[in-house]
Amino acid sequence: METQDSALERLSALRGEINKVVKGQDAVITGLVIGLIAGGHVLLEGVPGVAKTLTVRALSAGLSLKNTRVQFTPDLMPGDLTGSLIFNSQSSTFTFREGPVFTNLLLADEINRTPPKTQSALLEAMEEHQVSIDGVSRELPDPFMVIATQNPVEYEGTYPLPEAQLDRFLLKLEVPLPTREAELEVVNLHLQGFNPHDLAGAGVHAVASAEDIAAAKEAVKQVEAGAEVLGYIVDLVRATRHLPQVELGVSPRGATALLATSRVWAWLCGRNFVTPDDVKSLVLPTFRHRLRLRAEAEMEGVTAQSILDTVLSATPVPR
């Protein structure tokens, strides 16, 4: 119990470390910590320049974990991610050279700029935490998390992620432009000499470890969810499937994802039980990428957020 309590303190402190260099993105930072503890992957969507890459690097520095950034491009091949067999002419044998996927935090920058063949190379890694090369499966480090980014305003030359791959992401976090106050903090930080490539110099230090993440995962297993909360989750999921504007609603995997994220959030809040408010807080980031709207609805300006707002208001909340 003492280990789990200290893990909670350290992972709470982790958010403070990231806040030293990333301003005005508290919801995004919290979402990344939830995804890490839940053992899921996160899709970040935001315009260029809102500190998506910096946030991931700060998260890695605060945990003392290995992180790798891959810029996804149209000519990126699957082997460029997973690794490949290299022929050694001296020994006449093949040796395996690990690709960038062998890391703790993989930042897949602009994932929608690479063809589906390369996008799908991540599927096994994301789902099974392993890669298979030439019939041999190789385990990835633990913890392992994919944090992918995409630009919501530039679609020329992109390959939209298929529903099967979107569903592999536990959360989709939208990274907004900062408020005036937060942007002023960013400018002041740079005025004081902040170097984004020197996080240690900016005061970001490791305050948690892989062991703390493992302890947190064990603690979250003890977080209870009553029958009424489980029923509420299922009712929310089923409600997304019966709206005329929706072509494809949330799958059963989405229901288990909402349970997982709600349990982590309850634990981060210092509770060992899930409340309906926990569930409501995580509906949008857990479900927004699992909905497929009809084309005519999108033309009328309907969004995933407006659909989920409707679902939340129409679904009775248990007492």
Q: pTM of the entire structure?
A: 0.91
* 4 phi and psi angles, rounded to 5 deg: -70, -40
pLDDT value at position 78?
Answer: 87
- Token look-up 């529903």 returns 163
| Domain 2-207 is found in CATH 3.40.50.1860 | no
Show pLDDT as tens, one digit a residue, over the chain (319 residues): 546 678 899 998 999 999 999 999 999 999 999 999 999 999 999 888 888 989 999 999 999 888 899 998 888 888 889 888 887 777 778 888 888 999 999 999 988 888 888 887 888 888 888 888 877 888 999 899 999 998 877 666 677 787 878 888 999 999 999 999 999 999 999 999 999 888 988 889 999 989 999 999 999 999 999 999 999 999 999 999 989 999 999 999 999 999 999 999 999 999 999 999 999 999 999 999 999 989 898 888 889 999 999 999 999 999 8
DSSP annotation string for 216-267: HHHHHTT-B--HHHHHHHHHHHHHTTS-TTEEE---HHHHHHHHHHHHHHHH
**Intervals of CATH 3.40.50.300 along the chain:** 2-207
Tokens of 258: 């909402």
pLDDT value at position 267?
Answer: 96
**Intervals of CATH 1.10.8.80 along the chain:** 223-319
Residues in the chain: 319
CA distance 66 to 63: 9
pLDDT value at position 1?
Answer: 54
Which amino acid appears at position 143 of this protein?
P
pLDDT value at position 2?
Answer: 45
| Domain 223-319 is found in CATH 3.40.50.510 | no
User: Which stretches within the chain are classed as H helix?
Assistant: 2-19, 26-38, 52-63, 78-82, 116-128, 163-166, 180-191, 210-220, 227-239, 252-268, 276-287, 295-299, 304-314
Instruction: Please answer whether residues 141 and 104 qualify as being in contact, where contact means their C-beta atoms are separated by less than 8 angstroms.
Output: yes
What's 273's DSSP letter?
Answer: B
Q: Is the dihedral of CA 133, 135, 141, 142 positive or negative?
A: positive
